[in-house]
Amino acid sequence: MQYSLKDRIIALSGIFQATRLVQQIARTGMCEQAPFEASIKSIFAIDSATTEAIYDDAINVSHGTRALISQLGGTQTSNDTTKTRDIEITKYAIAVMVLERKLIKRNDLLTAIVDGITNAKAQLAHFPMTHDNVIANLANTYSDTISTLKPRIMVNGENNHISHPSNTNKIRALLLAAIRAAVLWRQCGGTRWQLLLNRKETLSQAQKLLNEQFSQTLH
Q: Which residue stretches of the chain have pLDDT < 50? A: 77-82
pLDDT in tens, 167-197: 999 999 999 999 999 999 999 999 888 777 8
Q: What is the pLDDT of residue 78?
A: 45
Domain boundaries, the chain: 5-217
H or E element: which one contains 208?
helix 199-217
Q: What is the pLDDT of residue 198?
A: 84
State the virtual CA torsion across 215, 206, 90, 60 in degrees, nearest 10: 40
CA distance 165 to 199: 38
Q: What is the pLDDT of residue 191?
A: 85
Q: What is the pLDDT of residue 83?
A: 55
Q: What is the pLDDT of residue 84?
A: 62
Neighbours of 13 (CB within 10 A): 29
Write the CB contacts of 209 (distance below 8 Å, at least 6 apart in sequence): 6, 9, 10, 13, 58, 65
In CATH, 5-217 is 1.10.3890.10? yes
Q: What is the pLDDT of residue 86?
A: 87
Q: Is 165 exposed, middle or buried (0-12, 13-18, 19+ CB in 10 A)?
A: exposed
Q: What is the pLDDT of residue 47?
A: 81
Residue 46 Cα to chain centre, angstroms:
14
